[in-house]
Structure 1
Amino acid sequence: MPQVIGHRGAAGTHPENTMVSFQRAFEIGVDGIEFDVHRTLDGHLVVIHDPAVDRTTNGSGLVMAMTLEQLRSLDAGAWKGPQFAGQRVPTLQELVRATPPNVRLYLELKAGSVHYPGIEQELVDLLKAEGALERTQISSFDHRALVRLKEIAPELPLGMLTSCNHVDPVGMAREIGCEAIHPMWYWVTPDYVEAAHAAGLKVNVWTVDEPTAITMMKAAGVDGIISNFPERVKSA
């Protein structure tokens, strides 16, 4: 049975990357939660997917151009439904502390030092301070950030995110020093998983919401399924 990983919490039914969404994922009984991290103007690590706040809050502008106080003044829930009004953008520290110890943290770094100089070190420092380094896996499409993270903390599990059908994803992930590959599910076959496993790599696929796709990924032998509807993965 693959790990059930709630995408941005339980984003199919709740406002993504908010505490109410993560709490719903915990109630469902997920093995892990996937979420996204940016940094505010005044240096706080926050949990939000987009570089701008426009889609998921009642505000406008770039996260990197806002202070934490400005960001936290925004409503991050009402867009999903009036019952979620008043939800705020969480800080990474807040989410780490609220996550049960048996739930793994799948942290997606949206951008490394190319946009947030020094963020890799800040992430490692925070996770160590919270005693969460061992139960966290950091993934990113910014593969240079993954290389930097491996230099800073060789023991930190890493996941290489991919969205296209790479010629040699296994070789790329091994060169970086990753624990896992996180491919878009559409490209994953039993042969893909077998090649990754032969190299000692796990395969955690995203974002798998439809029952047919969930069945296909289970049959392919993946290690984790990232889904907006984790309850579907558990019941499939």
Structure 2
Amino acid sequence: MTQPPYASHPYPAYGTQPPPPAPPTNGLAIAALVLGVLTLLFSVVPFVNLVGLLTGLTAIGLGLGGFAHARRHGRGAVMAGFGIGTAVVGMVVSVLVTFVVGKAFLGFFEEVTQTADVPEPAGSIGEWVPLDEDDVEVRLDDVTCDQEPADDGDHTCTVTFSVRNESPSTVSLGGDEVAAVVDDDYDSLRIVDDQGFPDSYAVASGETVSGSGTVDVPNVGSIDAVAFNLLRMRSSTTTVISVG
């Protein structure tokens, strides 16, 4: 009975070494890159970018760990660097977006709650002053108060003003858009028609219109300024013209 031939196993050539094992995967660098990209994506979404700040901090920490791993094993340094870079950029964008959105929200809150302080005067009586829209200007022409008080003890003051409209659309000014500033607060003017009903002045594009309204104040010199706002009074965009 013949024996089957033995399989031959070649031996490595004399003086050669087996290839070194592949360096281990840098999981920290991979995680840093993933979180860094997520931070960058979250950064442009308001409120969600607050979560992005946390993922950004985590990505930076993992990226630093990935650098340490790369120094020992020589793999993943570039990936860790990209992870830290995208995280830092994403966090900066998140802060900027949060600032812009927060400022807009505070402005809206002021508009809704009517809590904005009276702004500093932008001009004085007799001067043309631009409103928040640069194509519309107003001028406070005169403020005259009755020397004798009415039966309720208040003095009636008449405020005369002019509006110049260079915008492409018609603007309107009524009691909601014009107010006297008395003791750092707003007191809307009474602008009425011939029948005594509330009215407003419509100023077409390219026109200049003069108007007037009245307000009751406790003393003749109580009016410190007159305020104008085409959108809503008591906001940070209100234009104030000093009487003095």
For Structure 1 versus Structure 2, the TM-score category normalised by the shorter chain is under 0.3
Higher strand share: 2
Select the structure of larger CA radius of gyration. 2
RCO higher in 1 or 2 (8 Å CA, sep ≥ 6)? 1
- Structure 1 length as normaliser, TM-score? 0.20
Higher helix share: 1
- Structure 2 length as normaliser, TM-score? 0.19
